């Protein structure tokens, strides 16, 4: 379950109708094969997909499959070939294709990507669905109680990175407001750019802040919160060295490294949660598969926090990945 994104719909275009193209004029499929071959010879992972993404991007499409036959058969211009070469050279240095293109899709949002800001992973899309489901469940309960108030949940995101989670939630929950916090200026800047790109600035506040055990006072004026969501750094420190070269060379490792037990930031979030959440408010976390048990033990050892582990949800690879933790009312 790693970041390859835009899902590997990358099967080669079998039988493209260009058999009569003159050999010296390079068409898109020719160029894709050429760079695939270069990538393979240089040991670059996902050689075919990388090449397809780069060529499609330069031709103004998101996937190779979505190129129409006209674009597939037309010889590329010198400018296009040069652009492809420039991008491919970055990929040859193991730069993730998301940074090479400078943009990537998360759910149906097209987001700017820039190193070293964490690239949103496909499994995180399921975290959004869990919150949307919980919100609509709460709405149904309220409606059946004949409340007429329009729900406008307040959501805190700890560690917004590129803004992927915050922006998705703003789109999927139309009346929601989000406070998006990140300790890195590069992340806060990129979230801001993506917010404006998608014209969602009216319902979000972005805060450059390093969340710690003392952050409640600073964050509470935007609350109390209905939800706290985070895809925190959760990789166990000892696992950091075995990450892919793409990650180790280009991504901010602080965005991934969760300390010895991967729980450094998780513990901060859970400690802050009772004072930031409304009664029955929820924390949704993406975690390592070893964390559900560790977090449950930790919550048992901290009963004063009044937090209950409500549910553990699996990711699309079947690994326990998402925690729903709820605040009990006193
Ligand atoms: C795994 S990334 C997630 C980024 C984004 N939410 C996503 O899912 O694509 C974790 C983010 O948390 C930020 N972060 C880590 N510790 C933090 C802290 N104590 N306070 C605020 N942000 C923090 C990092 O800078 C990084 O952007
Ligand atoms: C954030 O705070 C932690 C201590 O909680 C500190 O170790 C770290 O260096 C700080 N990071 C930034 C970017 O300020």
231 Cα: distance to centroid of ligand 2 (angstroms): 17
- Each residue's pLDDT tens digit, 77-101: 999 999 999 999 999 999 999 999 9
- pTM of the complete model: 0.91
Read off the pLDDT band of 143 (50, 70, 90). Answer: low
Query: Do residues 303 and 259 lie in contact, with contact meaning Cβ atoms separated by under 8 Å?
Result: no
- Each residue's pLDDT tens digit, 301-310: 999 999 999 9
Report, as an integer, the average pLDDT of 281-293.
98
Ligand 1 closest atom vs CA 119:
9
CA-closest residue to ligand 2 atom 10? 210
- Provide the pLDDT for residue 147: 61
CA-closest residue to ligand 2 atom 1? 210
Tell me which ligand sits closest to the C-alpha of residue 118.
Answer: 1
Q: What CA–CA distance (Å, rounded) separates 266 from 158?
A: 10
Mutate to test the pocket of ligand 2, among 207, 210, 257, 271 (most ligand atoms within 8 A of CB): 210
Per-chain mean pLDDT for the chain: 91
Is the pLDDT reported for residue 142 higher than 80? Answer: no
Query: Do residues 186 and 252 lie in contact, with contact meaning Cβ atoms separated by under 8 Å?
Result: yes
> Ligand 2 in contact with 210 (CB < 6 A)?
yes
Is the pLDDT reported for residue 152 higher than 70? Answer: yes
- Fold of the CATH domain 124-327: Rossmann fold (3.40.50)
182 Cα: distance to centroid of ligand 1 (angstroms): 6
Mutate to test the pocket of ligand 2, among 161, 183, 266 (most ligand atoms within 8 A of CB): 183
> Ligand 1 in contact with 326 (CB < 6 A)?
no
44 Cα: distance to centroid of ligand 2 (angstroms): 34
Classify residue 147 by its DSSP letter. -
Instruction: Tell me which residue of 79, 76, 84, 78 sits closest to 38, measured CA to CA.
Output: 84
255 Cα: distance to centroid of ligand 1 (angstroms): 5
**Across 16-25, 32-41, 55-64, 225-234, least confident range:** 16-25
- Provide the pLDDT for residue 8: 34
Classify residue 117 by its DSSP letter. S
Q: Look-up: residue for tokens 């993506």?
A: 194
- Each residue's pLDDT tens digit, 203-259: 999 999 999 999 999 999 998 999 999 999 999 999 999 999 999 999 999 999 999
Read off the pLDDT band of 14 (50, 70, 90). Answer: very low
CA-closest residue to ligand 2 atom 4? 212
214 Cα: distance to centroid of ligand 1 (angstroms): 17
- Provide the pLDDT for residue 195: 98
188 Cα: distance to centroid of ligand 1 (angstroms): 10
Enumerate the domain spans of the chain: 5-94, 124-327
210 Cα: distance to centroid of ligand 2 (angstroms): 6
Chain centroid to CA 182: 14
- Provide the pLDDT for residue 11: 33
Instruction: Tell me which residue of 126, 314, 114 sits closest to 231, measured CA to CA.
Output: 126
């Amino acid at each position: 379950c790693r970041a390859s994104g835009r899902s590997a719909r990358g099967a080669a275009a079998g039988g493209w109708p260009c058999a009569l193209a003159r050999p010296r004029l390079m068409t898109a499929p020719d160029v894709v094969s050429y760079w695939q071959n270069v990538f393979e010879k240089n040991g670059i992972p996902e050689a075919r997909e990388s090449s397809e993404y780069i060529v499609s991007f330069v031709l103004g499409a998101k996937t190779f499959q979505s190129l129409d036959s006209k674009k597939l058969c037309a010889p590329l211009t010198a400018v296009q070939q040069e652009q492809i070469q420039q991008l491919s050279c970055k990929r040859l240095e193991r730069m993730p294709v998301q940074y090479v293109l400078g943009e990537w899709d998360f759910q149906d949002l097209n987001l700017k990507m820039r190193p070293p800001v964490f690239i949103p992973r496909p499994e995180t899309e399921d975290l959004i669905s869990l919150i949307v489901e919980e919100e609509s469940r709460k709405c149904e309960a309220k409606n059946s109680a004949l409340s007429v108030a329009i729900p406008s949940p307040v959501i805190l995101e700890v560690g917004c990175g590129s803004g992927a989670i915050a922006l998705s939630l703003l789109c999927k929950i139309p009346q929601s407001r989000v406070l998006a916090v990140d300790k890195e200026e590069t992340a806060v800047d990129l979230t801001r750019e993506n917010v404006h790109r998608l014209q969602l600035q009216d319902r979000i506040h972005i805060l450059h802040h390093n969340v710690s055990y003392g952050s409640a006072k600073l964050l509470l004026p935007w609350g109390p919160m209905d939800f706290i969501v985070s895809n925190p750094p959760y990789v166990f420190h000892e696992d950091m060295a075995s990450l892919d070269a793409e990650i180790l060379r280009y991504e901010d490792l602080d965005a991934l490294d969760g300390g010895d037990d991967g729980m450094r930031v998780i513990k901060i979030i859970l400690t802050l949660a009772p004072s930031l959440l409304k009664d029955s408010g929820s924390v949704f976390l993406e975690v390592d598969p070893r964390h559900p048990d560790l977090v449950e033990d930790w919550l048992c050892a901290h009963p004063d926090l009044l937090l209950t582990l409500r549910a553990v949800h699996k990711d699309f690879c079947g690994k326990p990945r998402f925690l729903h933790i709820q605040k009990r009312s006193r």
